[in-house]
Amino acid sequence: MVWEIVFYQDSKGKEPVIEFLDSLTLSDRAKITRLLRLLAQYGVLLKEPYTKQIKGKLRELRITEKSGNIRVLYFGATGKKFVLLHGFINKKTAKTPIREIETAQRRMEDFVERHGG
pLDDT of 10-67, one tens digit each?
A: 999 999 999 999 999 999 999 999 999 999 999 999 999 999 999 999 999 999 887 7
pLDDT digits (tens, 9 = 90+) for 92-113: 777 899 999 999 999 999 999 9
Instruction: With a cut of 90, say whether residue 75 has pLDDT above it.
Output: yes
Beta strands in the chain (DSSP E): 4-7, 51-55, 58-65, 68-77, 81-90
Q: In this prediction, what percent of the chain has a pLDDT beyond 90?
A: 86
Amino acid (one-letter) located at 59:
R
Phi, psi of 69 (to 5 degrees): -90, 115
* pLDDT number for residue 64: 86
Report the CATH number that the domain containing residue 104 is assigned in CATH: 3.30.2310.20
With 0-12 / 13-18 / 19 or more C-beta atoms within 10 angstroms meaning exposed / middle / buried, residue 45 is: exposed
- What's residue 39's pLDDT? 97
Q: How many domains does the chain have?
A: 1
Q: What is the pLDDT of residue 116?
A: 81
Give the predicted TM-score (pTM) of the model.
0.94
Q: Which amino acid is at 103?
A: T
* Closest C-alpha to 39, from 16, 67, 7: 7
From the list 61, 69, 67, the residue with the least C-alpha distance to 86 is 61
Give the pLDDT band of residue 68 (cuts 50, 70, 90): confident
Range of the domain at 30: 4-115
